[in-house]
Amino acid sequence: MTNQEIQSIKQRFAIIGNAPALNYAIQVATQVAPTDMTVLITGESGSGKESFSKIIHALSPRKHGQFIAINCGAIPEGTIDSELFGHEKGAFTGANEARKGYFEVTDGGTIFLDEIAEMPLGTQARLLRVLENGEFIRVGSSKVQKTDVRVVAATNVNLLDRVQAGKFREDLYYRLNTVPITVPPLRDRGDDIYLLFRKFTADFSEKHRVKPISLTPDAVRLLTRFRFPGNIRQLKNLAEQISVLEMEREVDAARLTTYLPAAQTSLLPALVPGHGAGGDFGSYSERDILYRLLFDMRRDMTDLKKVVLELATGNRPAAAADTQELLRQNSHLFNNLSESAPYPNPDGAPEAPNGYYLPASPTAPLRVDMGPGNYADEEDVDQTEDISHETEEETLSLDAVEKEMILKALKKHHNKRKYAAQDLGISERTLYRKLKQYDLESA
């Protein structure tokens, strides 16, 4: 698909932006539109998922049929079956007459099911039957009816997580996810943020009959660095608010800051619920992430203690240069290392950066400057037995922590080792080895 064709579609459906991820999503929607395949659109709330459902319908052979957009989260659980599939007279209290549902009304058209993750499990079973056989039954009836409807679904949550939690049918997920389309969040679209802001302020200036808002260069930089958790919807509200309230029509960064929530102006990494597993921290709570970071730091410290112990006792023949590199890489583990005055070199040992003096041979005493009164000298070599004991205890405690994390992951995923391995960020093969190591194979 050429760039000119993509631009033509953008103009037709009033889509603004040139981000590669956005262009790719438009290309996929255009390619799948002429087919009858079911499409699942994923993206954060306010990112513009409904626009893609309209593209798919307008470019399909069903464009002359009806298009209905339904928010599954906005319909009460007790009435959603009636809304989608209809009901017979007397089917429930208040059903004074028979009523057609959306699947019957839009026969030959397209239904857009937004927030599909909020659909009750019972309704999910009915929807699966429509997708597979084109059949449905009205509430209060036993007569099977036929319909020819294309379904486009959308969600702002990870449906696989819902499947694992037992809140979404796995068979329905794979039936809906025939063709996936991912709509990028606004914060990942770069310069598109400013383009959209200019479009919105121009529209509002015409609507409210005021002079359009302009931004200084520093305000543009601030705007494009904002995270926009509410995506396009939040940007549009911001543009309208500034257009109406701001007296000065040129806004600088200081003035723009007063309209932006302070907690959301940083581009530092943030937790996004329900995204990814394995190496992606999105599936963990903040407490779990801190727990894992502390676990890794303790493991690094234990490894370093072992190396220092081996060097001090002469059991690790290492060149001075290798030792210097090791200590340089782990310098952050020593207290006040960068501020410490260099320790005098008593043995003619080679000098390393930041005041390190290293033994010229494996049998020479190891001296590391860790601040006044905290360095090792010849008398400290006699304490190697205590260091060894402490290292062994820490290793045992880390094994216990690792064992506890494995058991927690297995319990969370009902002993499904594949999902537990993904949650722990390791391969299934590594998990099997750990289970054997800790005698947990029966878990």
Provide the number of structural domains found in the chain. Answer: 4
> What are the tens digits of pLDDT across the range 338-380?
444 444 444 444 444 444 444 444 444 444 444 444 444 444 4
Residues 98 and 46 sit within 8 Å (Cβ to Cβ): no
Tell me the C-alpha distance between 259 and 255, whole Å.
8
Does residue 229 sit in the same domain as residue 144? no
Identify the pLDDT of residue 133.
93
Question: Out of 140-144, 297-301, 399-403, 427-431, which region has the weakest mean confidence (pLDDT)?
Answer: 297-301
Share of the chain above pLDDT 70, in %: 72
Does residue 24 sit in the same domain as residue 151? yes
CATH of residue 172: 3.40.50.300
User: What is the DSSP annotation of 275-319?
Assistant: ---TT-GGGS-HHHHHHHHHHHHHHHHHHHHHHHHHHHHT-S---
Q: Does a structural domain hold residue 75? A: yes
Alpha helices by DSSP H, listed for 165-191, are: 170-176
Average pLDDT score over residue span 314-318: 56
Tell which wins on pLDDT, 300 or 230: 230
Structure token pair of residue 401: 């922590």
Does residue 341 sit in the same domain as residue 424? no
CATH of residue 216: 1.10.8.60
Distance from first CA to last CA of the chain, Å, rounded? Answer: 52
Does residue 9 sit in the same domain as residue 152? yes
Tell me the C-alpha distance between 135 and 130, whole Å.
5
Residues 6+ apart with CB under 8 A from 386: none
CA-only gyration radius of the chain, Å: 31
Identify the pLDDT of residue 272.
47
Range of the domain at 79: 3-184
Q: Does a structural domain hold residue 272? A: no
Residues 152 and 57 sit within 8 Å (Cβ to Cβ): yes
Q: Does a structural domain hold residue 269? A: no
Tell me the C-alpha distance between 90 and 98, whole Å.
8
> What are the tens digits of pLDDT across the range 97-145?
999 999 999 999 999 999 999 999 999 999 999 999 999 999 999 999 9
Does residue 283 sit in the same domain as residue 431? yes
Does residue 17 sit in the same domain as residue 147? yes
Residues 352 and 324 sit within 8 Å (Cβ to Cβ): yes
Identify the pLDDT of residue 382.
46
Name which of 183, 229, 241 is nearest 24 in CA terms: 183
Does residue 159 sit in the same domain as residue 209? no
Does residue 116 sit in the same domain as residue 89? yes
Q: Does a structural domain hold residue 273? A: no
Does residue 175 sit in the same domain as residue 260? no
Query: Which of 184, 216, 234 is at the close of a domain?
Result: 184
Average pLDDT score over residue span 290-317: 69
Q: Count of CB atoms within 10 A of residue 387's CB?
A: 16
Does residue 132 sit in the same domain as residue 244? no
Q: Could you tell me what percentage of the chain is helix, strand and coil, using 3-state DSSP and rounding each to the nearest 5? A: 50, 10, 40
Does residue 79 sit in the same domain as residue 141? yes
**In which residue are the tokens 């969600």 written?**
155
